[in-house]
């Protein structure tokens, strides 16, 4: 039996009572996935990322959402939010807090929407992430049975962040989950949505998530993806964004956890004045592998994009950055900037970076830059000359490197958490424990 | 800038289109082992060479043409190409310039290359390749005194088989890629240069490539070896007559630099780009690679690419020796329906190796251009350093400019920088010039030349002049 067949067998065993429109979608996804199979490194899009660990895995599907409440309390982001929690892809009503949604805002688990045969869900879902995008979106389309459907009525400004926590458990057979998230932001609405991946430290599950975001005229969405899953988790995610006139999408992609992480972020700027900002930070150690593929399609004139991705790599970690800016013919007066900077802390770490420009219009200002190197020895010297020991100097400079992305983060609960995590994960040779303790002490009320 | 001026610019005609009618000794179209044996026999090659070719051919049969480039063209029928063509029967090959077919000399005259005069005046030795057979070589004596070997590759295979056998295919192996394999099987000519230890070549070496007989693909093979502490500057320039059918050109260039050696390889390429619909232009699928084999060796590629319907070309450097240096300076101009997918590879293997990449692309008309580059830093390349700058200038709103830089970095002590920009000629720049009484065409020419300056200053003197003239020809007709 081939790997795709083995995966799809779980589907046949699982779904029997879908409404016909859902069943048809699943069949289309399954057929496409079977035809495509898992990507190999011969595929240009997967040149630096080997997914055999996923393809050769045997993953069950979870059925219950049990999760240690005190552990979750310790792991969750410390902020006031409308919260939807999935445990191994199963909705946990117990851990979710969706009781106080303001008027004009709807947040519900995908399973509810599907059983209600929700016409609007059927229409918007899958519009951006088709089964042809990658074998993993096809696989997700076949399996997606849980997730979050977030809707904002025109003019609604959501009072608190919408926080989707996706937890991964350890013990027993590894499981797979295929969450599906849909954000529909009506005209001039505004919201902050957080996807937070965490879980038990020994977990070794496979998460294959697809997120679709539709921004109508003038809408603003701040999207955070914080990856803090266990160092055994396999994670494939794609985020698809469709932007209307004068809309703004701010993406924060912060990747710390996971054994294998692949992110695809695709934004279509479809009308004048649409603007996208991509902020990314990844810090990988051990044998972690993180692959960020980003694409901005400037399909309309006077659209803007700005991208800044930073990577810190230690030990034998492997990082991949592939950023593409596409400017369609006649999409004039575009501004697109892209930057990727990487810091290698170890001789065995590897980074493969490829910032691409594909441009078919002439009245454009497009630039990209990519740098890879080590800490600036002159900066280290400058700090040492001021009485800071070398290890501390290197730690501070590494934090400052990450800080350029972190200072864009508006949510202090996330910014502080990531900064502390970065500081805490710095190599011991940087001797940062004192600093971390001081920082912790300052944080205590 | 007014759009009609751009239109005019786009419609510039190929100025060097003409066909020389010359008696060819051509095999019928098609490729099989007997054709390869025929070529090898014609070239009076030793047995090992024939076997080497056949090995390449057998590998080629198992390969598929690359499809990853940002190019579109119909599949090539390799059986419709004639793989051997000589301007005269080998037995009455001209022994000196006086014996050269006057029509050939006339061709050179039309191209503005008075072979003997120019060679004498400029002090350049010319190994003129006309179709597939080397017709004449000058200044051989002077080079001989210095101990430099400069001859056609066929002659080298006959006269210096040990040298050729030692280095041929060691930089670009037979099965390196589809076109290199094809070239290895059927190459008919090209140049061979060997500069012995400690010798600085007394003159710049130059070869003019021409493609002539209809339906003849040209498969050059060039091998340049610079021994320890030796230096050479090699110039390659080409033009071709107007033609309706696509002509395939799959050359292979191999450079070997031993300890402290320096090879400078400069190219001006102005082959027929095809008509307004892109029909009839040259397919230029070239594999060029330099091997900095010795410590402190240096290889520098400079190219000005203005011709060809399709360019697929990535001059590369393998930086194996410690502290070796690789350089790539490129200007690519595409117009009409030209397509270019070009760039470089810098493979850092040795410690403290350095590389510089400066690529300037100018796209006009309905052309499509891509920079594709790889910078790879191996785990042992401590202290490796790369700087890449690639800029694109778009003229008109029907063209495309793309950048695909790959960076693979496996060493924390390496520093790699990449910068790229894409823009058009800014209105304020044009306005600034016009306000000072410079007319529009000159202003555009100045701005474009300024845009390319970083590359032009790397070219040898005569080539720099030629390159600027070429750009001006490109911009001719844009006067308002």
Q: Is B429 on the interface with A (CB under 8 A)?
A: no
Give mean pLDDT, residues B37-52: 89
B residues 362-381 near A, CB within 8 Å? 379
Show residues of chain B in contact with A285, CB under 8 Å.
none
Interface ipTM > 0.90: no
Q: Output the CA torsion sign for A423, A428, A429, A433.
A: positive
Give mean pLDDT, residues B383-408: 89
- Chain A residue at shortest CA distance from B414: A373
Give mean pLDDT, residues A176-184: 96
Q: Are B368 and B333 in contact (CB under 8 A)?
A: no
Show residues of chain A in contact with B410, CB under 8 Å.
348-350
Give mean pLDDT, residues A429-436: 61
b/e per residue, B146-170, with b = 16+ CB within 10 A?
eebbbbbbbbbbbeeeebbeebbbe
pTM: 0.82
Please tell me the predicted confidence (pLDDT) of residue A165.
97
Domain ranges of chain A: 375-445
Show residues of chain B in contact with A357, CB under 8 Å.
392, 401-403, 420, 422
Residue B103, pLDDT above cutoff 60: no
**Which has the closest alpha carbon to B404: A172, A415, A32, A325?**
A325
Residue A62, pLDDT above cutoff 80: yes
- Chain A residue at shortest CA distance from B68: A44
Could you give the CA distance from residue A139 to residue A209 in angstroms, rounded to a whole number?
A: 10
**Which has the closest alpha carbon to A312: A427, A391, A412?**
A427
Judged by CB atoms closer than 8 Å, whether chains meet at A374 and B415 is answered as: yes
Structure tokens at B447: 């701005």
Mutation pick from B363, B400, B410, B422 vs chain A, by most beta carbons of A within 10 Å, is B422
Please tell me the predicted confidence (pLDDT) of residue B124.
41
Q: What is the pLDDT of residues B54-81, one digit of tens each?
A: 999 999 999 988 888 888 888 888 888 8
Please tell me the predicted confidence (pLDDT) of residue A424.
77
The CA distance from A444 to the nearest CA of chain B, in Å, is 36
Q: What is the DSSP track for A228-258?
A: ---TT-EEEEEEEEEE-TT-EEEEEEEE---
Judged by CB atoms closer than 8 Å, whether chains meet at A359 and B392 is answered as: yes
Judged by CB atoms closer than 8 Å, whether chains meet at B409 and A359 is answered as: no
Give mean pLDDT, residues B398-411: 89
Please tell me the predicted confidence (pLDDT) of residue B136.
43
Q: What is the pLDDT of residues B433-480, one digit of tens each?
A: 999 999 887 888 888 888 888 888 888 776 777 677 667 665 554 332
**Residue A229 zone, left/alpha/beta (φ > 0; ψ -120 to 50; rest):** beta
The CA distance from B234 to the nearest CA of chain A, in Å, is 32
Highest mean pLDDT, choosing among A113-127, B7-21, B382-396: B382-396
- Which pLDDT band holds residue B90 (cuts at 50, 70, 90)? very low
Show residues of chain B in contact with A298, CB under 8 Å.
none
Show residues of chain A in contact with B402, CB under 8 Å.
356-359
Looking at the partner chain, which of B379, B401, B422 has a beta carbon nearest the beta carbon of A347? Answer: B379
Q: What is the pLDDT of residues B140-189, one digit of tens each?
A: 677 888 899 888 888 899 999 999 999 999 999 988 999 999 999 998 87
| Total residues belonging to chain B | 480
Residue A94, pLDDT above cutoff 70: yes
Q: Is B6 on the interface with A (CB under 8 A)?
A: no
Residue A95 CB-half CA count within 13 A = 26
User: What mean pLDDT value characterizes chain B?
Assistant: 79
Judged by CB atoms closer than 8 Å, whether chains meet at A354 and B414 is answered as: no
Q: What is the pLDDT of residues A138-149, one digit of tens each?
A: 999 999 989 999
- Name residue, tokens 């956890």: A257
- How much of chain A, in percent, has pLDDT values that exceed 70? 93
Show residues of chain B in contact with A367, CB under 8 Å.
419-422
- Which pLDDT band holds residue B1 (cuts at 50, 70, 90)? very low
Q: Which of A137-141, B4-8, B207-211 has the lowest mean pLDDT?
A: B207-211
Residue B118, pLDDT above cutoff 70: no
Q: What is the pLDDT of residues A352-380, one digit of tens each?
A: 999 988 998 888 888 888 899 888 889 99
Distance of CA B329 to the CA centre of its chain: 12
Q: What is the pLDDT of residues A303-316, one digit of tens each?
A: 999 999 999 999 99
Looking at the partner chain, which of B399, B420, B423 has a beta carbon nearest the beta carbon of A368? Answer: B420
Q: Are A260 and A229 in contact (CB under 8 A)?
A: no
Residue A107, pLDDT above cutoff 50: yes
Q: What is the pLDDT of residues B280-327, one digit of tens each?
A: 788 889 999 999 999 999 999 999 888 788 899 999 999 999 999 999
B433 by DSSP, 3-state: which? helix
Q: Biggest alpha carbon distance in chain A?
A: 71
Mutation pick from A46, A331, A370, A379 vs chain B, by most beta carbons of B within 10 Å, is A370
Show residues of chain B in contact with A363, CB under 8 Å.
397, 424
Residue A290, pLDDT above cutoff 80: yes
A residues 332-371 near B, CB within 8 Å? 332, 342, 344-371
Looking at the partner chain, which of B413, B417, B422 has a beta carbon nearest the beta carbon of A364? Answer: B422
CA angle B305, B306, B312 (to 5 degrees): 50
Structure tokens at A150: 């977030």
Judged by CB atoms closer than 8 Å, whether chains meet at A359 and B415 is answered as: no
Could you give the CA distance from residue A61 to residue B118 in angstroms, rounded to a whole number?
A: 79
Q: What is the DSSP track for A43-94?
A: SGGGTT---HHHHT---EE-------HHHHHHHS-SS--EEEEEETTEEEEE
Show residues of chain A in contact with B408, CB under 8 Å.
48, 350-352
Residue B403, pLDDT above cutoff 70: yes
Show residues of chain B in contact with A365, CB under 8 Å.
422-423
The CA distance from B279 to the nearest CA of chain A, in Å, is 22
Please tell me the predicted confidence (pLDDT) of residue B421.
86
- How much of chain B, in percent, has pLDDT values that exceed 70? 75
Please tell me the predicted confidence (pLDDT) of residue A444.
53
Could you give the CA distance from residue B464 to residue A346 in angstroms, rounded to a whole number?
A: 44
The CA distance from B372 to the nearest CA of chain A, in Å, is 9
Show residues of chain A in contact with B373, CB under 8 Å.
none
Residue B273, pLDDT above cutoff 50: yes
Q: Are B332 and B296 in contact (CB under 8 A)?
A: no
Residue B226, pLDDT above cutoff 50: yes
Show residues of chain A in contact with B68, CB under 8 Å.
44
Q: How many CB atoms lie within 10 A of CB A337?
A: 17
Please tell me the predicted confidence (pLDDT) of residue B477.
42
Looking at the partner chain, which of B395, B400, B412 has a beta carbon nearest the beta carbon of A349? Answer: B412
Please tell me the predicted confidence (pLDDT) of residue B462.
66
Show residues of chain A in contact with B399, CB under 8 Å.
360, 362
Could you give the CA distance from residue B108 to residue A398 in angstroms, rounded to a whole number?
A: 62
Please tell me the predicted confidence (pLDDT) of residue B101.
54
Please tell me the predicted confidence (pLDDT) of residue B242.
44
Backbone angles phi, psi at B298, to 5 degrees: -145, 135
Judged by CB atoms closer than 8 Å, whether chains meet at B402 and A356 is answered as: yes
Give mean pLDDT, residues A33-51: 93
Q: Are B101 and B87 in contact (CB under 8 A)?
A: yes
Looking at the partner chain, which of B396, B400, B408 has a beta carbon nearest the beta carbon of A359? Answer: B400
Judged by CB atoms closer than 8 Å, whether chains meet at A368 and B414 is answered as: no
Show residues of chain B in contact with A366, CB under 8 Å.
421-423
**Residue B200 zone, left/alpha/beta (φ > 0; ψ -120 to 50; rest):** beta
User: What mean pLDDT value characterizes chain A?
Assistant: 90
Could you give the CA distance from residue B57 to residue B55 in angstroms, rounded to a whole number?
A: 5
- How much of chain A, in percent, has pLDDT values that exceed 90? 67
Mutation pick from A372, A378, A401, A427 vs chain B, by most beta carbons of B within 10 Å, is A372
Looking at the partner chain, which of B402, B409, B416 has a beta carbon nearest the beta carbon of A359? Answer: B402
Domain ranges of chain B: 3-475
Looking at the partner chain, which of B379, B402, B415 has a beta carbon nearest the beta carbon of A373? Answer: B415
Judged by CB atoms closer than 8 Å, whether chains meet at B421 and A366 is answered as: yes
| Total residues belonging to chain A | 445
B residues 389-408 near A, CB within 8 Å? 392, 394-408
Please tell me the predicted confidence (pLDDT) of residue B349.
95
């Amino acid at each position: 039996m081939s790997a795709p067949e083995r995966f799809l067998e779980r589907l046949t065993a699982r779904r029997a009572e879908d409404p016909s429109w859902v069943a048809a979608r699943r069949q289309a996804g399954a057929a496409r996935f079977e035809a495509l199979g898992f990507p190999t490194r011969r595929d240009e899009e997967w040149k630096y990322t080997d997914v055999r660990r996923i393809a050769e895995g045997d993953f069950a599907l979870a059925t219950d959402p049990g999760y240690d409440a005190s552990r979750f309390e310790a792991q969750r982001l410390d902020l006031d939010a409308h919260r939807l929690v999935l445990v191994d892809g199963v909705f946990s009503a117990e851990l979710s807090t969706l009781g106080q949604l303001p008027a004009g805002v709807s947040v519900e688990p995908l399973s509810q929407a599907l059983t209600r045969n929700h016409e609007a869900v059927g229409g918007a879902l899958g519009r951006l992430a088709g089964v042809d995008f990658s074998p993993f979106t096809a696989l997700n389309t076949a399996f997606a049975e849980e997730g979050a459907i977030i809707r904002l009525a025109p003019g609604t400004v959501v009072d608190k962040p919408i926080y989707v926590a996706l937890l991964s458990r350890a013990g027993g057979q590894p499981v797979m989950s295929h969450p599906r998230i849909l954000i529909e932001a009506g005209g001039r609405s505004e919201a902050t949505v957080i996807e937070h991946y965490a879980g038990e430290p020994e977990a070794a599950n496979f998460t294959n998530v697809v997120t679709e975001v539709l921004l109508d005229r003038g809408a603003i969405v701040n999207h955070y993806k914080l990856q803090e899953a266990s160092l055994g988790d396999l994670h494939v995610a794609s985020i698809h964004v469709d932007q209307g006139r004068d809309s703004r999408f701010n993406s924060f992609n912060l990747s710390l956890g996971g054994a294998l992480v692949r992110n695809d972020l695709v934004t279509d700027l479809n009308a004048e004045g649409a603007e996208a900002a991509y902020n990314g930070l990844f810090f990988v150690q051990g044998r972690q592998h993180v692959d960020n593929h980003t694409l901005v399609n400037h399909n309309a004139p006077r659209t803007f994009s700005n991208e800044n991705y930073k990577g810190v790599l230690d030990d034998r970690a492997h990082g991949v950055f592939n950023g593409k800016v596409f400017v369609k013919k006649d999409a004039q007066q575009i501004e697109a900037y892209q930057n990727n900077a990487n810091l290698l802390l170890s001789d065995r770490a590897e980074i493969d970076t490829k910032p691409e420009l594909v441009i078919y219009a002439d009245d454009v200002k497009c630039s990209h830059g990519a740098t890879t190197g080590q800490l600036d020895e002159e900066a280290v010297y400058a700090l040492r000359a001021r009485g800071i020991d070398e290890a501390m100097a290197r730690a501070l400079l590494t934090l400052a490197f990450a800080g350029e992305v972190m200072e864009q983060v508006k949510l202090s609960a996330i910014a502080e958490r990531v900064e502390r995590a970065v500081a805490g994960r710095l190599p011991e040779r940087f001797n940062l424990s004192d600093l971390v303790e001081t920082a912790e002490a300052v944080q205590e009320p | 800038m007014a759009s009609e001026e751009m239109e005019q610019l786009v419609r510039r005609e190929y100025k060097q289109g003409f066909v020389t009618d010359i008696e060819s000794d051509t095999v019928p179209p098609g490729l099989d082992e007997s054709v390869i044996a025929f070529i090898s026999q014609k070239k009076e090659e030793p047995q090992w060479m024939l076997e080497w070719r056949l090995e390449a051919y057998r590998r080629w049969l198992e390969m598929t043409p690359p499809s990853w480039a940002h190019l579109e063209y119909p599949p090539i029928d390799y059986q419709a190409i004639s793989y051997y063509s000589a301007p005269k029967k080998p037995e009455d090959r001209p022994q000196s310039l006086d014996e050269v077919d006057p029509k050939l000399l006339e061709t050179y005259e039309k191209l503005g290359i008075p072979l003997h005069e120019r060679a004498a005046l400029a002090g350049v030795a010319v190994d003129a390749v006309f179709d597939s057979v080397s017709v004449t070589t000058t200044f051989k004596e002077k080079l001989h005194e210095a101990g430099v070997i400069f001859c056609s590759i066929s002659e080298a295979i006959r006269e210096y088989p040990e040298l050729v056998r030692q280095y041929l295919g060691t930089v670009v192996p037979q099965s390196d890629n589809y076109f290199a394999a094809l070239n290895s099987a059927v190459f008919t000519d090209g140049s061979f240069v060997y500069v012995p230890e400690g010798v600085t070549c007394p003159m710049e070496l130059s070869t003019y490539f021409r493609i002539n007989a209809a339906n003849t693909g040209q498969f050059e093979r060039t091998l340049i070896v610079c021994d320890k502490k030796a230096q050479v500057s090699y110039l390659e320039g080409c033009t071709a007559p107007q033609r309706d059918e696509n002509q395939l050109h799959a050359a292979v260039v191999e450079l070997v630099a031993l300890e402290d050696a320096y090879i400078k390889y400069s190219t001006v390429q102005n082959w027929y780009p095809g008509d307004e619909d892109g029909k009839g232009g040259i397919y230029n699928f070239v594999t060029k690679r330099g091997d900095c084999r010795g410590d402190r060796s240096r290889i520098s590629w400079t190219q000005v690419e203005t011709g060809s319907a399709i360019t697929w070309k990535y001059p590369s450097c393998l930086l194996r020796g410690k502290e070796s240096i690789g350089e790539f300076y490129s200007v690519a101009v595409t117009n009409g329906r030209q397509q270019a997918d070009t760039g470089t590879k810098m493979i850092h293997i040795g410690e403290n190796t350095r590389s510089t990449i400066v690529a300037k692309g100018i796209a006009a008309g309905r052309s499509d251009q891509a920079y594709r580059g790889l910078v790879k830093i191996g785990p042992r390349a401590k202290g490796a350093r790369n700087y890449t700058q690639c800029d694109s200038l778009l003229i008109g709103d029907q063209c495309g400019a793309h950048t695909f830089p790959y960076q693979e970095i496996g060493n924390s002590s390496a520093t790699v920088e990449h910068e790229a920009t894409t823009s058009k000629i800014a209105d304020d720049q044009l306005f600034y010039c016009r306000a000072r009484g410079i007319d529009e065409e000159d202003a555009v020419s100045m701005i474009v030349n300024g845009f390319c300056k970083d590359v032009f200053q790397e070219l040898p003197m005569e080539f720099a002049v030629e390159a600027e003239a070429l750009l001006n020809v490109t911009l001719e007709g844009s006067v308002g």
